[in-house]
Amino acid sequence: MKAEKDPWKKALESCRSLIPPGTRVTAACSGGADSLALLLFLHTHASELEISLEALHIDHGFRPSSSREAAYVRQVCGELGVPFHLAELRREREDWRENASEEWARNARYDIYRRFTGPGKVVATAHTLSDQAETLLLRMARGTGLHGLGGIPARSRDVVRPLLGITRTQTEAYCRSQGRRWVEDESNQTDRYARNRIRHGVIPGLETVNPRAQEALAALALQMGELDQYFGAKARQLLAEADTWEGYRCQVLNGADLPILKEALRMVIRRYRDPNRELVEAACRAVAQGSAVQLTRHALLDARRGYLTVWDPQARPPAPITLNKEGLGEKQIFQLGEYQVGLEVINCEKMQKVIWKDVFVHKKDYIFLADYAKIPCNLVLRTRQPGDRFCHPVRGQTKSLKKWDNELGLSPARRLRPLLAGEEGTVVWLWDQGTAKEYLPGEQTGRLLVITQERKGEPR
């Protein structure tokens, strides 16, 4: 029978794949067997991996013994010649409290990690195969989807986890082989936390069925992670194919296989809140039926006009910007909400024939030009107001902006797009539609007002 590969050789291969040569690695070390084994392992192979090594101990301040643990890790680092960093949450965090939740502690740790990451710098944590198995069972018990079944990733941004193929028993054996004792966290022995109850009760029970139950669970998490990555890539591709300025085309979304559509909708919803199963199902129905789903007070997922958008039903129009005609000259950029409008005055008297010929070749550019002499003295860059009317530059029809917007099928969010108007209310130019017909340049135009548009930020 073929001998099983040494798990620590696998860990070394994992380090090579996760940590490029020349990286500064900060090992997060609590003093427990897992993190101490990680520190010792990285120290042993630092030259081979071509990394520089430091250590970080985070004192949560929850237990009286925590200061002794910090002192022990400092001592080990001193003996190894590894630079040591200490972060004390009780001193650093104003929201610290003795009975803080596991989630608070985790978030606090990752806030600290960010200080030690960046270009050429990573934090290494000692999550093990045993942690992976426990995490998978915990998520399954609480209710999770494919993303949760992927378990703990080997890398997330600048945090790497090279020991995901090593069990807790193996980290303890490694520490003994190095002649090092480790710190025992007394809270790990109680069943106060859900993870401890799984560790002490569920895992041993499963190992009576399969002695390698932890490895089997970790392998399942790896497979689910790969599948999650596949569906994620397909979902991003779907969103890219459906993406337009108006939103995601529902017709394209509805043509996708259901698992891919659900993952795409999770990605959209995740920008605003946790995409639980009920919300994703409701979003699927909205896309299929052309309805809407309230995600939060300020986020409505809307598919009622053939495009999927998320907008704030309570959003107020941005404050208008008053512009003096005589103050316009070289190009200036004005910001109205998430929109940018550029205005520039060009003298074209000497090039009238050239410009006029070009106008008919590039009609799209033409409708973003206005005869400077025709425009009102004072302009206002603002959003639509009741009573606004617009004469289309190509169709030549004059209608209320409300009718134009209905005809275009614009969502309520899109109706907050910018326009240029005279102070008396005449619309001179409308976003994406161009200059009103009565303000278009002609053969006798001497000066042009050139209007450009650009939308910044997330389209939805």
Give residue-wise pLDDT tens across range 150-179. Answer: 888 989 889 999 999 999 999 999 999 999
Q: How far is CA 288 from each of CA 130, 291, 416, rounded to the nearest angstrom?
A: 42, 8, 26
| pLDDT at residue 112 in the model | 87
Residue 269 and residue 185 in one domain: no
Residue 334 and residue 413 in one domain: yes
User: Distance (Å, rounded) from C-alpha 134 to C-alpha 345?
Assistant: 67
Asked if residue 230 is part of any domain, the answer here is no
Residue 339 and residue 285 in one domain: no
Domain boundary among 289, 311, 333: 311
**Which domain, by its residues, includes 189?**
7-225
Total number of domains in the chain: 3
Give the mean pLDDT of the chain: 86
Say whether pLDDT at 49 is over 50: yes
Domain boundary among 191, 225, 259: 225
Q: How far is CA 283 from each of CA 287, 290, 410, 460, rounded to the nearest angstrom?
A: 6, 10, 20, 15
Q: What DSSP state is assigned to residue 186? A: G
| pLDDT at residue 334 in the model | 92
Coil, strand or helix: which one is 83? coil
At 189, give phi and psi (nearest 5°): -90, -10
Domain boundary among 311, 346, 365: 311
Residue 326 and residue 292 in one domain: no
Asked if residue 234 is part of any domain, the answer here is no
Asked if residue 140 is part of any domain, the answer here is yes
Contact 338, 457 (CB under 8 A): yes
The pTM is what?
0.66
Residue 301 and residue 330 in one domain: no
Residue 155 and residue 98 in one domain: yes
Residue 93 and residue 190 in one domain: yes
**What are the beta bridge partners of residue 421?**
380, 427
Residue 282 and residue 415 in one domain: no
| pLDDT at residue 361 in the model | 41
Average pLDDT value for residue range 127-139: 91
Contact 228, 238 (CB under 8 A): no
Say whether pLDDT at 255 is over 90: yes
Residue 220 and residue 266 in one domain: no
Asked if residue 424 is part of any domain, the answer here is yes
Residue 352's pLDDT band, with cuts at 50, 70 and 90, is low
Average pLDDT value for residue range 200-210: 89
User: Distance (Å, rounded) from C-alpha 343 to C-alpha 339?
Assistant: 13
